[in-house]
Amino acid sequence: MADQQFPGWHGTTIIGVRKGDEVVVAGDGQVSLGQTVIKGSARKVRRLNTGGQDVVAGFAGSTADAFTLLERLESKLEAMPGQLARAAIELAKDWRTDKYLQKLEAMLIVTDGQDLLVITGAGDVLEPENDVAAIGSGGNFALAAARAMMDTDRDAEDIARRAMAIAADICVYTNGNLTIEKISK
């Protein structure tokens, strides 16, 4: 009953695009509570630097939950330098089996410039097909738009920006205030 009375936090859109030697992760800045925009300039894409390894991460879902997961990912990366995929799998295993972590509601897109991964609370570590990953309420809109542009001459950043603009035009929980991080192989 309490869940029905409280409208809950809604939406975001995060996209990761790999083209050539570059990966771009972009996220919108909107935070909504029910039908109200609470903030329009949140930073949902972060650069992590653990043990000399540069990693970019974007998150959708609860902010506190996402930061808990990012902290866990950083500790996994410190224990396994240069092994993003292995660290992501270890995080997903913990997330799936730990009673505290199981309650966390967020998803992550992470990249080190080589790997582009989606990490979920269901224990999934997914490497997207077609070099595009997207999560959040506007994720499917951004994903479709980006995939349509992958065969063009546009670079990764331009594809991400244009895909996010399309998602913001369609999804009411996504705005055009972007945070963009680039990383190369």
User: What residues are annotated to the active site?
Assistant: 12
CA distance 24 to 183: 6
Instruction: Give every CB contact of residue 137 below 8 A, 6+ residues apart in sequence.
Output: 10, 11, 12, 13, 60, 171, 173, 174
3-state SS assignment for residue 148 = helix
Closest CA to 13 of 32, 38, 34: 32
Q: Which long-range contacts (C-beta less than 8 Å, at least 24 apart) are formed by 152-155?
A: 154/19, 155/19, 155/20, 155/22
CA distance 11 to 130: 24
